[in-house]
Every structure is written in structure tokens, then in C-alpha cells.
Amino acid sequence: MSAQLIVRNVTVIDGSGGPPVADAEVAIEDGRFTAIRPSGKTTGGGVTVYDGRGGYLLPGLWEGHTHLRARPGEGDADQVARLEAILAGYLAAGITTVLELGGPLDIDGRLRERHRTTPPTGAAELFFAGPSFTGINGWPLALHQNHSLVREAGDAETARRMVLELEGETDFVKCIYDGEPGAPDKLPRAALQAIVKAAHERGKSVLVHIATKRDIEEAVDAGADCIEHAFIPENPDDLTEAEDVADLLASTGTYFSPTLAVFEQLGRSGDKTYLAGLARDAIISPGEVAEIASRPAFGAPFPHHPAAETLTRFRYGVRSLPIMRDAGVKIVAGSDIALFMSRPAALLRELQLLADAGLPAGDTIVAATRYNAEKIRKATSVGTIAPGQVADALLLNADPLGDIMHLVRPGHRVAMIRHGHLTEAVE
Ligand SMILES: [Zn+2]
């Protein structure tokens, strides 16, 4: 029998969306939760007891949409080490799982190989798509020109073959379904359908990046598991488009990851009051404001995403959120790229934006935990606090259901548990 850890004297918010359980303790063994029960006094040989001092224990958070592209020119070993350091930074922020939606297969695969026998207790878990599927020369090649980060499919047969080639190497599939309908750089609709079919045959979910309502309709029709990104409305003053999308996503059980944080960054790039707000909300430090403002990228145009259109998209996404919530859409939390803040902070900003837009704090926690696990079909093993689940958790000293900022502000973090291993937060 291996060493047991008991975290005692906590309120458990288990990530399922159910009511919190006060005066509880959780038992952990071999990296998994074994029991959630009333706080007791049992001790025994081989049992380590950690006093949670009336804190709040929730599942470790998930970053549901990011890109961890290593720096060009680094050697392979350096890239793996750097990736591991990035994942350690996530864990320090209470984020125990990271989903990479499009990235370098070799580096992510090498990291996985390294962790095959011993799960890393000092870094977040990584699940990844490998290269994204897109059209010939499709987005995001205009951004990085790196053909190793994508699979370009011009027809259904090629698309199917490429999904099968990646079969044993990746955790889920990411498609970019963006661009003028019928344009050569847009993934053909038949290719999208073939990708979803092949992925589902192999038990993988398919997450689809979209731009418009029509893209969403076609992606849902193809069988997409999750729609990535809020859409660009035809008429920003008309919320009936959002109502239609909400009904479609709710009735089909399709997950929805609006990635508000990235559109806020692109839409408000160059706006110094944006940075001041980030500092006020502890997303960046006060000292970073001037440094970020002086970067050439701050205020510079971003390919494929004109600032005005992106700001409209952000605001429409925010206004749509209560409609999505009321319709019963399963909203998941992911931030996409972090331009003006750290990657972990980008997810925390997304949580704040979701809550500010009207998602109740309990639903925001579900969005960052259980629904992210469900969207990549891992929920039977990780994402909630329940017996048998991987013991990834976050201990706070204040109630995140009372105020989402208790989750966002770093000062409330007491400890992180990763695969059963507890590390106290450092101030
Ligand atoms: Zn992305």
C-alpha cells in the first residue's frame, strides 16, 4: 500500500456543477482521489494529513485552447525543456491541464515520451492535437508560415488519410474552418466532414475553429464536438444570430469555447486603458504596463484579424454569452494565444471575462474543468473531484463561488495538487 494523502477541513467544489460540500476531506492514493467524506480525525501509518484550514478545494483548472509553439532555432532538447518549464508555470497558477490546439507534433510527442513512466508532478498535463487541419495555404499559415504546424487538405480523401496517419500520436483533432466559402485556402466542407468521420471512428473528438455563423452551422452539421471562438456577426446590433447559434449548439450538445480573451487582446491592442485594467485585475503586474505598451506588437495590426472587426466580435461574444447560458450551451474555457500577458494569466482572464459576461461562478468553474475534459473525451479519468479521478486540484483560501476573483487573483492560491502531489503556492 502506497502513501496516502488526506486534505482535511475544506469545502469541496467538485467541478461537476453540483452543490459544494462543506467540512469535507478528500483522500488521495497513487495519484487518484479515493474518497470525499466528512472531515474526520483519522490518521494512521503512511497517511499524510494536510489541514486545508477552511479553504476551498476545486479540480485543477484546464486551459482549453492554447498554442505552445517553441521558438524557432532552438535545439530539440531545449524545446522540450522549455515546454516543460511553460507547463510548470501553468501549475503554479492552479492550471493542471493544458490543451494545445495546433502545435509541433515532434516536441509534444517527445515530452509525452519522457513522461510515459512517471507522470510529472511539478508541471501541468498536456493533451494535444498536433498539427491543425486547414485548407491549402489556409489560416494560420499567413501568421507563421510554418507548414509543420498544419496539415493542408484540399479534398476529403487526403483529409481522411492524414487523420489516420496521426491516429496513435495525438489526443484530439483540431480543424480550421475559416475563410470565404469555396476559396482554395478554406478547408473544403467535404474534407471537414471526412475528418470528423475518421476521427470519431478512432474515438477522438474534433474541435473546429470558425469565423462566421455559417461556419458554425456547417461544422455542427459535420459533427464537430466543440466550436472554437465566438463568431463574427453579420449585424452586431442584432442578437438573433446569437439566438440561432445558441439553439443549434444546445440542441446538438456541441461544446462552445468563445475564447473571449484573445479577441479582447487583438481588439484592444494599443489601448493603454486595457493594460491598466489588466493590472488592476492582477492579470499583469503594475510594472509590466509600461513594458508591454512599449512593445512594437502592441497596437500593430495582426494578420487576418482587423482590430475593429475583432473588437466587434469580442463585444458581440460577451453580449451573446447570457443567451448561450440560458439556452443550455455547454460553455468551455480557453484563451487561445497570449499576446500581452503570461499564458496562464490568459486563461484566468478568460474566466474573469466569462463571469463578467454573466456566467455564474459555478458554471465558470465547470467551464474550466469538467467541460474541457468532456470536450476531449477524458472526463472518465480527470477533470472533477470524484473517487477514481486523477488527483489534480487547487486549494484556495476564499470562496470562488462568491467571487470569481478569488480564483483569478494569485494571492488566494494556497496549494496545488498534481497527480496526488501537493505543492504549496509561493507568494
Ligand atoms: Zn487557437
Q: How far, in Å, from the CA of 257 to the mean position of ligand 1? A: 11
CA distance 181 to 209: 15
**Nearest by Cα to 128 from 108, 148, 145:** 108
Residues in the chain: 427
Q: How far, in Å, from the CA of 101 to the mean position of ligand 1? A: 6
Q: How far, in Å, from the CA of 63 to the mean position of ligand 1? A: 12
45 with 173, same domain?
no
Q: How far, in Å, from the CA of 337 to the mean position of ligand 1? A: 6
Q: How far, in Å, from the CA of 106 to the mean position of ligand 1? A: 19
Q: How far, in Å, from the CA of 319 to the mean position of ligand 1? A: 22
Is 324 within a domain? yes
Q: How far, in Å, from the CA of 66 to the mean position of ligand 1? A: 6
Is 85 within a domain? yes
Whichever domain contains 389, its CATH number is 2.30.40.10
CA distance 241 to 224: 19
282 with 401, same domain?
no
Q: How far, in Å, from the CA of 343 to the mean position of ligand 1? A: 13
152 with 20, same domain?
no
Give the 3-state secondary structure of residue 9: strand
317 with 359, same domain?
yes
Q: How far, in Å, from the CA of 336 to the mean position of ligand 1? A: 5
Give the 3-state secondary structure of residue 165: helix
21 with 166, same domain?
no
Q: What is the pLDDT along the chain (427 residues), one digit of tens a residue?
A: 467 999 999 999 999 999 999 999 999 999 999 999 999 877 778 899 999 999 999 999 999 999 997 666 677 778 888 999 999 999 999 999 999 999 988 888 989 988 888 878 999 999 999 999 999 999 998 888 888 889 999 999 999 999 999 989 999 999 999 998 888 899 999 999 999 999 999 999 999 999 999 999 999 999 999 999 999 999 999 999 999 999 999 999 999 999 999 999 999 999 999 999 999 999 999 999 999 999 999 999 998 899 999 999 999 999 999 999 999 999 999 999 999 999 999 999 999 999 999 999 999 999 999 999 999 999 999 999 999 999 999 999 999 999 999 999 999 999 999 999 999 998 6
Q: How far, in Å, from the CA of 190 to the mean position of ligand 1? A: 22
**H, E, C per residue of 59-84:** ECEEEEEECCCCCCCCCHHHHHHHHH
State the residue for C-alpha cell 518549464: 85
Q: How far, in Å, from the CA of 259 to the mean position of ligand 1? A: 9
Q: How far, in Å, from the CA of 328 to the mean position of ligand 1? A: 24
Q: How far, in Å, from the CA of 94 to the mean position of ligand 1? A: 21
Residues spanned by the domain of 107: 61-375
240 with 317, same domain?
yes
CA distance 163 to 161: 6
158 with 18, same domain?
no
pLDDT for 1 equals 46
Q: How far, in Å, from the CA of 67 to the mean position of ligand 1? A: 6
Q: How far, in Å, from the CA of 8 to the mean position of ligand 1? A: 39
Q: How far, in Å, from the CA of 68 to the mean position of ligand 1? A: 10
Q: How far, in Å, from the CA of 327 to the mean position of ligand 1? A: 25
Q: How far, in Å, from the CA of 146 to the mean position of ligand 1? A: 15
For 259: left if phi > 0, alpha if psi spans -120 to 50, otherwise beta; the answer is: left
pLDDT for 101 equals 97
pLDDT for 389 equals 98
29 with 145, same domain?
no
12 with 81, same domain?
no
Domain count, the chain: 2
Q: How far, in Å, from the CA of 44 to the mean position of ligand 1? A: 48
Q: How far, in Å, from the CA of 65 to the mean position of ligand 1? A: 6
Q: How far, in Å, from the CA of 261 to the mean position of ligand 1? A: 11
Q: How far, in Å, from the CA of 96 to the mean position of ligand 1? A: 19
